[in-house]
Amino acid sequence: MDIVVTADGSRTLYHAAVGENYHSKHGAEQESKHVFLKSGLQFFLTKDKVSKAAILEVGFGTGLNFILTAEYCMAHNIQLDYCGIEAYPLPLETISQLQYSDLVPENIGLDFQNAYPKALLQETVVNHNIQLQVAHTLVMDFNSSKQFDVIYFDAFAAVHQPEMWSEETLTHVTKFLKPGGVFVTYAITGNLKRAMKALGFTIEKAPGAPGKREMLRAIKL
Ligand SMILES: C[S@@+](CC[C@H](N)C(=O)[O-])C[C@H]1O[C@@H](n2cnc3c(N)ncnc32)[C@H](O)[C@@H]1O
């Protein structure tokens, strides 16, 4: 896979078979911080006035969303339980070439590198605040006894992978979200809004990351 430098200087991967980057060309780091951290996790923590969160990510990929979330949780003393679903886990060597460790304090990058291979096999303690599991499975085969506070929905775009945005997939993943839980994604379409409303979510259009006017945040009733 080719490495691409995005507009904010952070790197991403181009997936030739899918025909899409893993992150926005307008800025991988900016997109992750805006869509998932600020509009997802920070929104949830403020709304529920809590200092712990369980996050389910659909499409763990390079781990960028995890690393930036871990940095935030370390800085704000938030207990983080993070589970990423990933059908095609990337080798650690590929992830290392993206140099995401340069975006966060050194210990967080090292903790992630140590934890990632173990987290692919089982729930793993990353450090005293954080645990990580990367469920190596197709999203429709994912199962968990846990209920999560926030879903980071980071699938490839619907034009490339429509099945990830289908009612069937959305119904399946949102089963794992607690009432009052927050679902965020970088996109917003009529189909997505209709599907989330039908699942009993309150939907909000939030300002999008650079290069996108709007994104979707949905709260489970
Ligand atoms: C847009 S990329 C995710 C980017 C990722 N969040 C990151 O920060 O690197 C979409 C991810 O979904 C994964 N994926 C594709 N089809 C899937 C499926 N059916 N089940 C689970 N994961 C899938 C891909 O392998 C890819 O890593």
Q: What is the CATH number of the domain that holds 38?
A: 3.40.50.150
pTM score > 0.75 for this model?
yes
pLDDT mean over 195-210: 96
Per-residue pLDDT reduced to its tens digit, 154-185: 999 999 999 999 999 999 999 999 999 999 99
Distance from Cα 155 to the centre of ligand 1, integer Å: 5
pLDDT mean over 11-26: 96
Given ligand 1 and candidates 60, 104, 136, which is best to mutate, with the most ligand atoms within 8 Å of its CB?
60
Which pLDDT score, from 0 to 100, does residue 49 have?
A: 96
Residue 134 resides in a domain: yes
d(CA 214, CA 53): 25
Which pLDDT score, from 0 to 100, does residue 1 have?
A: 87
Residue 9 resides in a domain: no
Q: Sorting pLDDT into bands at 50, 70 and 90, what band is 104?
A: very high
Residue 137 resides in a domain: yes
Residue 8 resides in a domain: no
Atom 5 of ligand 1: nearest residue by CA position:
61
Show the DSSP H helices in 22-142 as ranges: 28-31, 43-48, 64-75, 92-97, 106-119
What is the number of domains present in the chain? Answer: 1
Which pLDDT score, from 0 to 100, does residue 100 have?
A: 97
The residue range of the domain holding 30 is 26-220
Task: Ligand 1: list residues with CB < 6 Å.
Answer: 22, 59-62, 64-65, 85-88, 138-139, 154-156
Average pLDDT, the chain: 97
Residue 20 resides in a domain: no
Residue 16 resides in a domain: no
pLDDT mean over 40-47: 98
Burial 178-207 (b: 16+ CB within 10 A, else e): eeebbbbbbbbeeebeebbeebebebbebe
Residue 12 resides in a domain: no
